[in-house]
Amino acid sequence: MIIVAIDEVNFKKASTIIDNLDSKKCMVKIGSVAFNSIGRELVSYAAEKGFDIFLDLKLHDIPNTVKKSIEGLTSLPIKMLTIHASGGKDMMIAAMEAVSGKDVKIFGVTALTSLSDKDTESIFKRTASEQVKAMLDLAESAKIDGVVCSPHELELVAKRDSLLSITPGIRLNNSQDDQKRTLSPKEAVDLGADYLVIGRPITSSENISKALNEIYSSTK
């Protein structure tokens, strides 16, 4: 499933992007950039247009604060929500308690796709793959629904049957810009990705609908 990232702070621009998408071919991701400016209005608009919504806020705090935050957010018509797996097992368990009985999946971010091995070695004292593996162990033990990881760590996730995968860092020509661990949509699907997050290749296109259709077809 393709997830189109909406990173606009202007409601007119964001709603125009949504108007040019097909809810049968994609979901919509609303991250902190959009949510902090036009979040609730944009979530409501996307839901009215028939889109499933992935709210990508990467929550990271003490367990009770994360639980209370999620309880508030689930009043919105969302289907998926992110937390940072590095918040620990107790925090992830609290997140799952907050969505108990609700149709909302919790995904843990393993390592940001902007981080290289040099970055993760500086921060976590291990490579990106080692960090992802450690976070996968935590995610499995907390029994969350899935994880967010770069295409290059998908093979690690594929070995964990209990975890779904959301994969950012998708580029049409492997251009990297600010994301350092990228692959094409087809390559990511072939490695087992369940959800592909694609932003600029679609939203910055002169023909958003055509761009979505081409990427959708390329993954089949």
pLDDT, position 173: 64
pLDDT tens digit sequence for 130-179: 888 999 999 999 999 999 988 888 888 988 889 999 998 787 764 545 55
Greatest distance between any 2 Cα atoms in the chain: 45
Distance CA 51, CA 219 (A): 20
Q: How many helices (H) and strands (E) does the chain have?
A: 10, 8
pLDDT, position 152: 81
More confident residue, 156 or 28: 28
Q: Is 58 a catalytic residue?
A: yes
The string of DSSP letters for 127-157 reads -HHHHHHHHHHHHHHHT-SEEE--GGGHHHH
Domains located in the chain, CATH noted: 2-218 (3.20.20.70)
- The answer on pLDDT for 20 being more than 60 is yes
Claim: this prediction has a pTM higher than 0.75: yes
The mean pLDDT of the chain is 92
pLDDT, position 153: 83
- Best-predicted range by mean pLDDT (51-55, 115-119, 129-133): 51-55
Contacts of 89 (CB under 8 A, 6+ apart): 138, 141, 142
pLDDT, position 182: 64
- Burial grade of 84 (CB within 10 A; 0-12, 13-18, 19 or more): buried
- Within its chain, how far is the Cα of 118 from the centroid? 23
pLDDT tens digit sequence for 58-108: 999 999 999 999 999 999 999 999 999 999 999 999 999 999 999 999 999
Beta strands (DSSP E) in 37-137 are 53-59, 80-84, 105-109
pLDDT, position 171: 73
Beta strands (DSSP E) in 7-122 are 26-31, 53-59, 80-84, 105-109
More confident residue, 188 or 46: 46
More confident residue, 140 or 111: 140
**Which of 13, 24, 58, 89 is flagged as catalytic?**
58
pLDDT, position 219: 86
Residue length of the chain: 220
Q: Is 7 helix (H, G, I), strand (E, B) or coil?
A: coil
Structure-block tokens of residue 70:
């999620």
Alpha-carbon distances, residue 167 vs 33, 38, 96, 214 (angstroms): 19, 25, 21, 18
Structure-block tokens of residue 181:
């661990």
Q: Give residue for tokens 């919509």.
A: 28
pLDDT, position 24: 97
CB 99, CB 73: distance < 8 Å: no
- The answer on pLDDT for 180 being more than 60 is no
- Burial grade of 177 (CB within 10 A; 0-12, 13-18, 19 or more): exposed
